[in-house]
Copies of this chain bind each other. A is one copy, B any other.
Amino acid sequence: MNEENLKKLFEEVRQGSCAVSEAVRRLKHWPAESIEFACLDHHRSLRTGFPEVVYGEDKSAEQIAAIMKNMMAQSCLALATRVNPAKGSAVCKEVSGLTYHETARMLAGNEDKVEEAGYRGTILVLSAGTSDMPVAEEAYLTARYLGNPVEKLYDVGVAGIHRLLGHTQMLDEATVLIVVAGMEGALPSVVGGLVDKPVIAVPTSVGYGSAFGGITALLGMLNSCAPGVAVVNIDNGFGAGCMAATINRKNE
């Protein structure tokens, strides 16, 4: 039951063509039934300008292509994450007008539809090593496609702390920082001690042996002794980009 139906019901009551008791009966299940409509509406408005994003990991090239085509036909930005090169090129052959970002493993279409969100400042993406780049790039592109200005500063891991310290101005000028690191995952702690901005830490599965596919980096980040640091799932560049965009959104 949507607003139109509701209005009609009240009209019927007003005109006496529907008894009060009958009206009450009809609305009895409305809270539960209509909640879907209500929520959807709520959700739609609150996500205005945000692209739909396809999680490509467990979808076939055909499935991804179909969804991308559909979204592009609706003239909105089309995005897919975790698309491996084989699927990426297959989809690009099928659907024209797509860009495949190989490092970030992302597909994008209708890129001109990205609208600048009302943002507070610049998001800065840092990575500890070159091996962390796929995750860092996923975060970078996610934030950019969500309409934010984004900068990057890669390969500034803690074992060569001077590389990081040479860019303190860049750190100071950002509004939100995404810090991507594998192995011991120590970079967010150091960064969190240098700035007073929110730091989103992203552990990566880079490493071997007791790196345990990112668990070590994850634990290190959760135990950061610097305040103002919060963590997302291992390799979750997309989630970090979303969180950063949410923080960077201007609330009027």
A187 to B228, CA, bound (A): 19
Contact B159 A190 (CB under 8 A): yes
Q: Assess A210 versus B206: contact at CB under 8 Å? Given A27-B6, A39-B162, A161-B193.
A: no
Interchain nearest-CB distance for A158 vs B (Å): 5
Q: From residue 124 to 150 of chain A, which have CB atoms closer than 8 A to chain B?
A: 128-129, 131
Interchain nearest-CB distance for A225 vs B (Å): 5
For A218, the chain B residues whose CB sits under 8 A away are 209-210, 222
The stretch among A71-79, A87-95, A108-116, A243-251 that forms the contact with chain B is A243-251
For A192, the chain B residues whose CB sits under 8 A away are 159
Instruction: State which size class the interface on A falls in.
Output: 35 or more
Q: From residue 27 to 41 of chain A, which have CB atoms closer than 8 A to chain B?
A: 27, 29-40
- Closest B-chain residue to A241, C-beta based? B227
Interchain nearest-CB distance for A185 vs B (Å): 7
A171 to B1, CA, bound (A): 20
Interchain nearest-CB distance for A55 vs B (Å): 8
Question: B217, B219, B230, B240: which contacts A215 (Cβ < 8 A)?
Answer: B219
Q: What 10 A-B pairs have minimum CB-CB distances, sorted nearest first? A: A209-B234, A39-B162, A186-B186, A36-B166, A230-B230, A227-B242, A159-B193, A159-B226, A216-B219, A184-B220
Beyond A10-B24, A31-B38, A209-B236, 4 additional contacts (C-beta under 8 Å) are A11-B20, A158-B158, A158-B190, A159-B189
Q: 27 A-B contacts, Cβ less than 8 Å apart?
A: A10-B13, A14-B16, A14-B20, A31-B37, A31-B38, A32-B38, A33-B166, A35-B166, A36-B165, A37-B166, A39-B162, A39-B194, A121-B251, A159-B193, A159-B224, A165-B165, A184-B189, A184-B221, A185-B186, A208-B233, A209-B223, A210-B219, A211-B233, A216-B216, A216-B223, A222-B234, A228-B242
